[in-house]
């Protein structure tokens, strides 16, 4: 709620507050929980909405620093029980080398599963995938155990990849630039997840196999794996077969390695193993099946997805806080009474408390204790839904993200191949843990959450760009002439495009299951496909948030300009009223009248954001002139009224010209400093950190310099376009650099869970 804007009430919110003094808030506990690394055990009872984001992000960022410095944070431990999302991110994206638990206890349990299998085979029992065929062909029998494993691994290598050494002689340009192979990060993630599953000692796979996989991670040997061909039914069979094939040195499997110049180069797996002195594996009974049968790929990509999605959800809460400031909206919508007492859904509580904490100290947001309700005719009494209802909108989505994160964490520390060796009972369990439906469900929840967060964000920005809704900002957030500068319009159109795409991507994959493999895999999870499309959703939502941050930084700069314009109007009124009306009014009367005139001017200025500056000032000072006319008409004596009216008209003409000139000079000052942060004194300390990061670290300036110069002279020469500036923000999000800033912001917020 903004203060009332009438002649007898507070002036316009746009001009209202004088330039504030900068204050520092005390360093507070993190709103997202402890920033220490995750506990040594994955204890799901301690997982809360408030702790997930920061713990996992901090762990990944610590590993990022360790990978870059070759020292620092302890390596992720692969022990079958404690692998976290942050660990997977560190190994996958930042080349952290995990530590394989080599303790006697781990070696004993791995060997125990092999002993169970050996006893079964020696007794002549038929074990699926060891002495039988696979899937719908499990009615066949063989004693060629080793050959069967080679047949399985090589036979599953059916994916489509670029033909080695092939040059297209047709000269045709490609129709698409989507690669046929998976990103290396996905492959490394699958390797560490599969390693963590095998070390649990349920799979009948020798420890030397685990050590070989660990060496490949250590030396950054990454198999080239096809993007498609998995239905995630009996696990991610085909993708995992390329990892198994590389470990065995199969010549048709290629890998990425570090070249002599530091760039990645592709070579055959036998060459790579020889280069790093790794002995190719010869698989013993069940080892091929133990490597290819499982959900490691789906779980790994799912972990990468959850890390990104949780950070984007936190970023959305921050952009919502910035939008509250940019729109001069009320923090009353986030009050604890509404969420903690009246409707205490945990996600709603977190969203409300986080945004409220981020707004603490803001000079732009209307704080509930300072709201003015008297004489507010014509003023929107409450904020519109995209801001006022944001905690209720985001809350269930945060709960879904938490549920998805918990499912993925369980999956990372599970055994998902078939059959399993139970060393405690000596039995072989034939079952379906490879069915990755838990991952599918997590991905569907996450994609829908991203789409809904994106929808809310888009509507917040359309409100901000629209001069009929943004409480006094110029149309299209133009820093200069609104008849020439359409800055926000192109952003609005682009955001509409990606919001539509994001909503399309929210469609479920799980409803498109096809029966496969002789009818044996009549139901299948499609988890990896779902995770792939969730990655697309993350990229799309990241673009939406990039435009959002660009618009928000522009908007708060314009708010700063408005506040300073308001101060100029105050000074101009004081001087001009004394100059033009001093012979009729004493100083006390001038001061009283200046408040009334200022209220009328500022309110009209709020209402005319679609007009060019000259017309906007004319309309605003016309209201001021009307207030002067009313004042003088109410005086007891009517003597000299004709002279008064002529003086009012002269005052208005003079004031419009003077304020247009002063506003022009102020605009020039704002645009001249490309890395300036004029909005900092008005912003909350938390939102100000992100604003400063965008302006100074990323070097994204206030837009409009070329328009202001009329595209003439040195200042008017076209430089980097708006797309190039937004791309800087997008790169910072996708690289994870912006997340470091986000986690630092989170560490300054009060703990509320």
Alpha helix segments (H runs only) across 293-345: 296-326, 336
Which two three-digit tokens encode residue 616? 């906007």
Which two three-digit tokens encode residue 536? 């697309």
Residues with Cβ within 8 Å of 47's Cβ and at least 6 positions away in sequence, in order, are 402, 405, 406, 409
Number of residues assigned to the chain: 753
- Name the phi and psi angles at 372, rounded to 5: -115, 125
Which residues make beta-bridge pairs with 268?
254
**Lookup result for tokens 């009060």:** 750
Give the residue numbers annotated as catalytic, written as ranges. Answer: 128
Please name which of 399, 24, 436 lies closest in space to residue 236, comparing C-alpha atoms: 436
Rounded Cα–Cα distance for residues 72 and 636 (Å):
82
264-268 β-sheet, strand order = 222-223, 254-258, 264-268
Which two three-digit tokens encode residue 320? 């919502």
* Measured CA angle at 82 (ends 79, 85), to 5 deg: 120
Which two three-digit tokens encode residue 660? 């247009």
Q: Is there a contact between 269 and 257 (Cβ–Cβ < 8 Å)?
A: no
Rounded Cα–Cα distance for residues 627 and 621 (Å):
10
Residues with Cβ within 8 Å of 118's Cβ and at least 6 positions away in sequence, in order, are none
Which residues make beta-bridge pairs with 267?
255
* Type and span of the H or E element at 546: helix 527-581
Report helix, strand and coil shares of the chain as percent, to nearest 5: 55, 5, 40
Which two three-digit tokens encode residue 2? 């903004």
Which residues make beta-bridge pairs with 222?
256
- Name the phi and psi angles at 268, rounded to 5: -70, 155
- Longest CA–CA span in the chain (Å) reads 122
Q: Give the number of other Cβ atoms within 10 Å of residue 574's Cβ.
A: 15
Q: Is there a contact between 528 and 435 (Cβ–Cβ < 8 Å)?
A: no
Please name which of 392, 358, 462 lies closest in space to residue 28, comparing C-alpha atoms: 358
Residues with Cβ within 8 Å of 592's Cβ and at least 6 positions away in sequence, in order, are none
């Amino acid at each position: 709620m903004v203060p009332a804007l009438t002649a007898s009430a507070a002036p316009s919110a746009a001009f209202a507050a004088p330039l504030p003094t900068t204050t520092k808030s005390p360093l507070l506990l993190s709103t997202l929980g402890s920033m220490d690394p995750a506990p040594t055990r994955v204890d799901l009872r301690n997982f809360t909405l408030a702790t997930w984001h920061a713990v996992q992000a901090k762990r990944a960022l610590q590993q990022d620093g360790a990978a870059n410095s070759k020292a620092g944070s302890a390596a992720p431990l692969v022990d079958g029980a404690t692998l976290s999302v942050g660990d997977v991110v560190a190994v996958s994206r930042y080349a952290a080398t995990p530590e394989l638990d080599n303790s006697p206890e781990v070696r004993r349990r791995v060997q125990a599963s092999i002993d169970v299998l050996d006893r079964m085979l020696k007794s002549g029992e038929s074990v699926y995938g060891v002495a039988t065929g696979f899937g719908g062909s499990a009615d066949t029998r063989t004693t060629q155990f080793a050959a069967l494993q080679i047949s399985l691994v090589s036979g599953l290598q059916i994916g489509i990849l670029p033909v080695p050494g092939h040059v297209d002689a047709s000269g045709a340009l490609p129709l698409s630039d989507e690669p046929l192979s998976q990103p290396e990060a996905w492959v490394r993630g699958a390797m560490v997840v599969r390693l963590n599953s095998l070390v649990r000692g349920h799979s009948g796979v020798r420890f030397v196999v685990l050590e070989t996989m660990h060496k490949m991670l250590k030396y950054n040997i990454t198999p080239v794996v096809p993007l498609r061909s998995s239905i995630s039914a009996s696990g991610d069979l085909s993708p995992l077969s390329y990892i198994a094939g590389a470990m065995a040195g199969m010549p048709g499997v290629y890998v990425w390695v570090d070249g002599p110049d530091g760039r990645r180069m592709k070579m055959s797996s036998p060459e790579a193993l020889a280069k790093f002195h790794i002995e190719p594996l010869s698989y013993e009974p069940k080892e091929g099946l133990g490597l290819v049968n499982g959900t490691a790929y789906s779980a790994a990509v799912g972990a990468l997805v959850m890390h990104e999605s949780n950070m984007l959800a936190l970023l959305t809460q921050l952009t919502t806080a910035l939008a509250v400031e940019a729109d001069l909206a009320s923090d009353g919508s986030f009050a604890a009474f509404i969420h903690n007492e009246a409707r205490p859904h945990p996600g709603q509580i977190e969203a409300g408390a986080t945004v409220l904490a981020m707004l603490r100290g803001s000079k732009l947001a209307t704080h509930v204790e300072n709201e003015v309700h008297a004489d507010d005719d014509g003023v929107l009494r409450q904020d519109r839904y995209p801001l006022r209802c944001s905690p209720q909108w985001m809350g269930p989505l945060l709960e879904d993200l938490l549920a998805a994160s918990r499912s993925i964490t369980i999956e990372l520390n599970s055994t998902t191949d078939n059959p399993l060796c139970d060393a405690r009972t000596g039995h072989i369990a034939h079952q379906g843990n490879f069915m990755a439906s838990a991952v599918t469900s997590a991905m569907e929840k996450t994609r829908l959450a991203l789409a809904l967060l994106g929808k809310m964000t888009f509507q917040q920005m359309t409100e901000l760009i629209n001069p009929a809704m943004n409480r006094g900002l110029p149309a299209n957030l133009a820093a200069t002439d609104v008849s020439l500068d359409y800055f926000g319009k192109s952003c609005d159109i682009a955001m509409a495009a990606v919001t539509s795409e994001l909503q399309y991507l929210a469609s479920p994959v799980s409803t498109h299951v096809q029966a496969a493999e002789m009818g044996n895999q009549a139901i299948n999870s499609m988890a990896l496909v779902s995770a792939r499309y969730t990655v697309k959703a993350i990229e799309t939502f990241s673009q939406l948030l990039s435009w959002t941050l660009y618009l928000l930084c522009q908007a708060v700069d314009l708010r700063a300009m408005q506040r300073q314009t308001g101060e100029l109007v105050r000074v101009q009124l004081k001087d001009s009223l004394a100059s033009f009306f001093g012979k009729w009014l004493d100083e006390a009367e001038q001061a009283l009248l200046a408040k009334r005139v200022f209220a009328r001017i500022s309110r009209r200025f709020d209402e005319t954001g679609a007009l060019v500056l000259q017309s906007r000032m004319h309309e605003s000072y016309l209201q001021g002139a009307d207030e002067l006319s009313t004042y003088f008409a109410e005086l007891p004596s009517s003597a000299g009224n004709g002279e008064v009216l002529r003086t009012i008209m002269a005052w208005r003409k003079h004031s419009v010209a003077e304020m247009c000139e002063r506003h022009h000079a102020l605009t020039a000052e704002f645009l001249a400093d490309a890395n300036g942060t004029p909005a900092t004194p008005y912003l909350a300390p938390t939102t100000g950190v992100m604003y400063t990061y965008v302006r100074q670290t990323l070097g994204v300036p206030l837009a409009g310099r070329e328009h202001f110069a009329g595209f003439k002279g040195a200042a008017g020469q076209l430089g980097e376009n708006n797309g190039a500036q937004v791309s800087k923000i997008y790169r910072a999000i996708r690289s994870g650099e912006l997340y470091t800033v986000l986690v630092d912001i989170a560490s300054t917020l009060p703990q509320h869970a």
